Amino acid sequence: MAYAVIAAVSVLIIACPCALGLATPMSIQVGVGRGARAGVLIKNAEALERFEKVDTLVVDKTGTLTEGKPRVVSLKPVSGSDEAQLLQLAGSLERGSEHPLAEAIVSAAQEHHVELSDASDFEAVTGMGVTGRVEGRELALGNARLLETRGVEAREWTQRAETLQAEGQTVMFLVADDQVMGLIGVADPIKETTAQAIRTLKEDGLRLVMLTGDNRTTAEAVARQLGID
């Protein structure tokens, strides 16, 4: 009798889990487990259920669509200077920062065998860049907004920066003692799997939106390459 009951219950669970209220919990466990193996963490059952109704997916750019390992691809020093000096000043200022763009600049300086100096009075300006002193010079490295706050006129350099940004580069201005020393362009390669993933999601009827804190022109260049908003 015991064996018969166990066999009967086993058949019931396998053939008709709804009868025992097991269908939904089992489905959730399987879904959450498969998602975790694919690197997708699901907060709870409600989130999993509501996800079926999603029609728009917002994705981050850096580290999601791109490799998250930016590297220096452009160096535009001011006339009378050179790339090594540009890297020496920028790398010395950024060597204490853990920001991915800072790491790219320091790595480029090391690849060019540029000897870096110590920086003092280092300060990160949210959404703009960094400032500090290197070898007695007051330095600032960041976007056009940082130059505006310091009253630095750089119309010619801004136009050159826009050209690089249209190519998908993140551009930083280096200023020493309120004089523009040049531009540094950094690019983050798109992952090899990104294009196919985007095509698959679009085929499933999802609208994709890229969200990034990068410059708008740079962001639009990357979005055009991938065919997303």
Residues with a catalytic annotation lie at 60
Find how far residue 159's CA is from the centre of its chain.
Answer: 24
Assigned token pair, 176:
């020493």
How far is residue 12 from each of residues 19, 30, 134, 136, 219, measured CA to CA in Å?
8, 19, 76, 81, 55
C-alpha to C-alpha distance for 54 and 139, rounded to whole angstroms: 47
- Summarize the chain as % helix, strand, coil (round to 5): 45, 25, 30
Query: What gap in Å lies between CA 76 and CA 79, rounded to an integer?
Result: 9
Question: Rounded to whole angstroms, how far apart are CA atoms 114 and 117?
Answer: 10
Q: What Cα–Cα distance (Å) separates residue 165 from each residue in 157, 160, 169?
A: 12, 9, 5
Calculate Rg over the CA atoms of the chain.
Answer: 26
